[in-house]
Structure 1
Amino acid sequence: MLNNLLTLICLLPLLGACIIMIFPQDSKKLCLNVTLLITSTIFLLSLFLWIFFDKSSSFFQFSHIWFYFDNINFYYIIGLDGISLFFIILTAFLINICILISWNSVNFYLKEYLIAFLMLEFCLIQVFCVLDLFLFYIFFESVLIPMFLIVGVWGSRIRKIRAAYQLFIYTLTGSLLMLLGLIYIYFEIGTFDYQVLSSIKFSTSIQSILFLSFFASFAVKIPMVPFHIWLPEAHAEAPTAGSVILAGILLKLGGYGFLRFSLVLFPFASMFYAPLIFLLSLLAVIYASLTTLRQVDLKKIIAYSSVSHMGFVTIGIFSFNTQGIEGSILLMLSHGLVSSALFLCIGILYDRYKTRVLKYYSGLTQVMPLFICFFLFFSFANIGFPGTSSFIGEILILIGALKINLSLTFFMTFGVILSAAYSIWLLNRVGFGSLNLNYLNYFQDMSRREFWLLFPILMSVLWLGLLPSLFLNEIHFSVLNLLDHLNNV
């Protein structure tokens, strides 16, 4: 049963989508209840992956071959290690939150909306557990289809079609170079099997070219400056659930790709291009933070802050030491929780006042005290306040960067200061000051449903921040195995 646990988690979203398809269009409550049951089951099963995970092993666990074609060396094989384990749990958790967010907010094509999220969950779980490069590419790109529909059909404003096309074209264009790299690897080696390719040593010149082809795809997905243009627009136009999954999971696909493929398959090229990565990452940290201070749209403020945090992640990944890489994984998990909660808070405000323009909000502490308590907590978590999950990730990344270069660490700490500046500035503008009665004349604090959506995220942020060893124990041996590939260059 344990060997088939990951297979069951992979298949359940697809099975759920097929079940929802046969329901009548007008059976909205039935569709919602069945979808929630399926996503909750997937989340509970993903926790069993964690319970039965062998933290002392650096090998792939819960492996299973679905089918294979020996004559072309094609294997549909899945498995997970400490790096991918928590991304699958995070995916299952946030998809569940997204379904609950949408309970009363989607008024048309509800059945298709739920099918899009189930297919999105199917593709995301496959991305994190498939051990074949070609299948990884297929699912990596397939994520775009349901996300394109979620933004373009159920987006909140008139520019949603433009934002959906930007998301699709930017990310697809970057990935075409990765496809060329995959074709070369197949004709050169004869297989897409990740476990076979991880033992192959490409020449330094070939590594350099292949690394750039993969980098083009992963850098757009993170996104790194200057490939970030699509992100603020997509966030601004997406529905609240779309923004949650976009910030919580989709931005992590690029970081996961660097960890899983770039560092292992192209170790020499990763070290060779590390200074370029550091330069682009520092540019993202400082430029995105300064740009955040100039935004007037609440969603764009959080979107640009995400670009800044992902700059920290890429610096941690390419620090090539245990602290930096483990810190980057923790920061990705933390950002998935914190940014999702902040987008959910903004969604709560938008549901009440139908605007995300910052100037209309002030003094909400007087009329929405419970909401402001949650908003304050997640704003401080976004800064990296001690005791929250972001603090652990950022401090480990800074330690990892300090082992490489003092100047690099100095500019990163400047980015931390800017992060505190825009987070406290936003909190002050929304929560304090005089009530803007000219624009806001209806007041309601958080509902019970909204409270129970944010409370589990709050507890998860505290859990990761106060007990990081529970997560690091599972991650550690997989990171050491990754570093072995780098040390053997």
Structure 2
Amino acid sequence: MEKVPLLSLILWLPVVGMVFVLLTPKEQVRLIRFWAHLFTGAVLILSFGLWFGFGPELHGMMQFEERYDWVPILGIRYHLGVDGLSMPLVVLTALLTFLSIVYSPTAIHYREKEYYALFLLLETGMIGVFVALDFVLFYVFWEVSLVPMYFLIGIWGGPKREYAAIKFFLYTLVGSVAMLLAILVLYFHAGTFDMVELIEKKPLAKASATLQALVWLGFYLAFAIKVPVFPFHTWLPDAHVEAPTAGSVILAGILLKMGTYGLVRVNLPLLPEASDVFWSMMGILALVNIIYGSLVAMGQDDLKKLIAYSSIGHMGFVMLGIAAAAKDGGAFADAALRSAKVTALNGATWTMIAHGLMTGAMFLLVGVIYERVHHRDLNRFGGLWAQMPVYGSIFSFFAMAELGLPGLAGFWGEFFSVLGSFRVYQWAGFAVIGIVITAAYFLWTVQRMFLGELREEYRNLPDMNLQEHISLWPLVVLTFLVGVYPPILLRVIQPAMEHIVELMSRAWLL
């Protein structure tokens, strides 16, 4: 019996759902919502098939592969596959998209047909980035994910939505052009767009150091803008603040990870020599992200902007681990240093997943309170725990996870990143400054929102409703589960990280 093309089903079902939504009259809002729930739910269920059918013992090899000629004359293929790096991100994308759709009827009350159609298209774009193993396919999905988010911010966002949407689009587009040029250089040197083949061949290995550096920087610019790495970060707070709640969830939970995913998938194994040249730059900018992002977050009175800047800090820990893995091929003579690089990459990938769970939940929680009081000013809150005990408890739970409390998902990513990075370059230890600042501003946020005397204007606020419970509790359970039993994720992630380190070490030993 021919195997089911599971990745293609997961990838294209949202587009089928988008067609159903577009064919439904705009007046039939309940049916439009039903299609959106049905197809994103189906994608989530199918993604569980990836999780339970995945074989970690295959040591980082691509699984569920599909390979067909697409444009044979140019060597362009429809090539899909997942490993321990991409598979958890596909599942995370399916989960957060479904939960965002569950939450959306609470906040979106106009032009719903266009909203749900764009959200479904966005899901295909994001999943496509994580499963594509041909650079042309990868680039197409990279661009596809940009357009729906532009409209989601520009139509359903806040008062400055047009400015935020254009800024997001232009920043990302600049990076996309740089990446396209880098892809073309690789193609002219190897005659193929296949990512797996290019990583094996390393066609630029004998090219000049200058050319390798330029290609590396082309990819880096695209990915760093998406992360975002300082100084490309200025689009993020604007986009987050103006985006609708579900848009912020996807922006923080998934779109930022496309940048760090690209660095681990492309820059490290494909251009290890150039990665070694730029490792210190990445390490320094990672620390800037961690400390600067945390300090600026601490100075915010807008709850949504605070969480946006916290994302800059958290993504710094991902970059910290990536920088450690990029450093000095000669160090691979030392098995302990090689293990440290694997640990650092484990931390980077873990933080991608944990940040998606935690920050996705935090933006949903911002939406919950905003729909009730219609502001996000932390100075105007106080004593909410007495009136909204469930909301206060869940918010405090995720605040503890965000600040890295042991036993919750956020702890392990930071722990592995700092542990592995410190063994490679000791000044990575300065990252603990960011951890302390993060703890300070999240505890202060909980104090300002939930402790003290309840203000008179909030005495009739209702606690969370059923839709809000459904959208948040899966994230509560997963944040706790992977926090208390890390092997759930590590058994999937580690073989892929070992494989990437091995690919880099082979190139350095040539």
TM-score under structure 2 normalisation? 0.93
Q: Does 1:483 align with 2:483?
A: no
SS in 2 for 1:246: helix
| 1:74 matched residue in structure 2 | 76
Deviates more, 1:169-178 or 1:304-313: 169-178
| 1:381 matched residue in structure 2 | 401
Distance 2:3 2:373 in 1: 48
| 1:94 matched residue in structure 2 | 96
Q: What is the identity percentage for the equivalent residue pairs of Structure 1 and Structure 2?
A: 37
Quote the offset at 1:366 in angstroms.
Answer: 1.6
Paired AA for residue 102 in structure 1: S
Q: Does 1:465 align with 2:483?
A: yes
Distance 2:173 2:382 in 1: 40
Task: Say whether the 8 Å CA contact 1:10–1:125 is kept in structure 2.
Answer: yes
Distance 2:115 2:381 in 1: 31
Paired AA for residue 373 in structure 1: S
Q: Does 1:259 align with 2:277?
A: no
Distance 2:111 2:272 in 1: 47
Task: Say whether the 8 Å CA contact 1:3–1:62 is kept in structure 2.
Answer: no
Quote the offset at 1:471 in angstroms.
Answer: 1.4
Task: Say whether the 8 Å CA contact 1:163–1:233 is kept in structure 2.
Answer: yes
Paired AA for residue 183 in structure 1: L
Counterparts of residues 118-157 of structure 1 (less than 5 Å)? 118-155=120-157, 157=158
Paired AA for residue 35 in structure 1: A
TM-score under structure 1 normalisation? 0.97
Q: Does 1:436 align with 2:474?
A: no
Distance 1:420 1:105 in 2: 30
Task: Say whether the 8 Å CA contact 2:230–2:289 is kept in structure 1.
Answer: yes
| 1:177 matched residue in structure 2 | 178
Paired AA for residue 486 in structure 2: P
Match of 2:284 among 276, 279, 282: 279
Could you report, residue by residue, the CA deviation over 1:219-238 in whole angstroms, capped at 9, with x for unpaired residues?
00000111000000101001
Distance 1:468 1:16 in 2: 35
| 1:447 matched residue in structure 2 | 465
Match of 1:214 among 219, 229, 252: 219
Counterparts of residues 44-443 of structure 1 (less than 5 Å)? 44-57=45-58, 58-155=60-157, 157-201=158-202, 202=204, 203=207, 204-320=209-325, 321-409=341-429, 411-437=430-456, 439-440=457-458, 442-443=460-461
Could you report, residue by residue, the CA deviation over 1:240-277 in whole angstroms, capped at 9, with x for unpaired residues?
10000001000100000001000011101111101001
Task: Say whether the 8 Å CA contact 1:35–1:114 is kept in structure 2.
Answer: yes
Could you report, residue by residue, the CA deviation over 1:195-233 in whole angstroms, capped at 9, with x for unpaired residues?
110122313332211111111110000001110000001
| 2:14 matched residue in structure 1 | 13
Unaligned runs of 5+ in 2: 326-340
Task: Say whether the 8 Å CA contact 2:321–2:417 is kept in structure 1.
Answer: yes
Distance 1:6 1:286 in 2: 39
Unaligned runs of 5+ in 1: none
Could you report, residue by residue, the CA deviation over 1:4-32 in whole angstroms, capped at 9, with x for unpaired residues?
11111111111111111111111110111
Could you report, residue by residue, the CA deviation over 1:353-381 in whole angstroms, capped at 9, with x for unpaired residues?
00011111111112111111001100000
Distance 2:484 2:219 in 1: 36
Deviates more, 1:476-485 or 1:295-304: 476-485
SS in 2 for 1:102: helix
Pair 388,233 (structure 1): closer, same or farther in 2 beyond 3 Å: same
Task: Say whether the 8 Å CA contact 1:3–1:63 is kept in structure 2.
Answer: no
Paired AA for residue 476 in structure 2: L
Deviates more, 1:203-212 or 1:322-331: 203-212
Task: Say whether the 8 Å CA contact 1:3–1:64 is kept in structure 2.
Answer: no
Deviates more, 1:6-15 or 1:250-259: 6-15
Paired AA for residue 426 in structure 1: T
CA RMSD of aligned residues (A): 1.2
Could you report, residue by residue, the CA deviation over 1:99-133 in whole angstroms, capped at 9, with x for unpaired residues?
11112321111111000010000111110001011
SS in 2 for 1:68: strand
SS in 1 for 2:70: strand
Task: Say whether the 8 Å CA contact 2:387–2:459 is kept in structure 1.
Answer: no
Deviates more, 1:448-457 or 1:307-316: 448-457
Distance 2:492 2:318 in 1: 19
SS in 1 for 2:105: coil
Could you report, residue by residue, the CA deviation over 1:69-92 in whole angstroms, capped at 9, with x for unpaired residues?
332211111111111000000000
Task: Say whether the 8 Å CA contact 1:360–1:440 is kept in structure 2.
Answer: no
Deviates more, 1:95-104 or 1:446-455: 446-455
* Runs of 4 or more above 3 Å deviation: 439-442
Task: Say whether the 8 Å CA contact 2:253–2:359 is kept in structure 1.
Answer: yes
Task: Say whether the 8 Å CA contact 1:67–1:75 is kept in structure 2.
Answer: yes
Could you report, residue by residue, the CA deviation over 1:171-197 in whole angstroms, capped at 9, with x for unpaired residues?
111221111111211222211111110
SS in 1 for 2:67: strand
Paired AA for residue 265 in structure 2: R
Paired AA for residue 101 in structure 1: Y
Paired AA for residue 89 in structure 1: V
Distance 2:179 2:14 in 1: 27
Quote the offset at 1:150 in angstroms.
Answer: 0.5
SS in 2 for 1:79: strand
SS in 2 for 1:143: helix
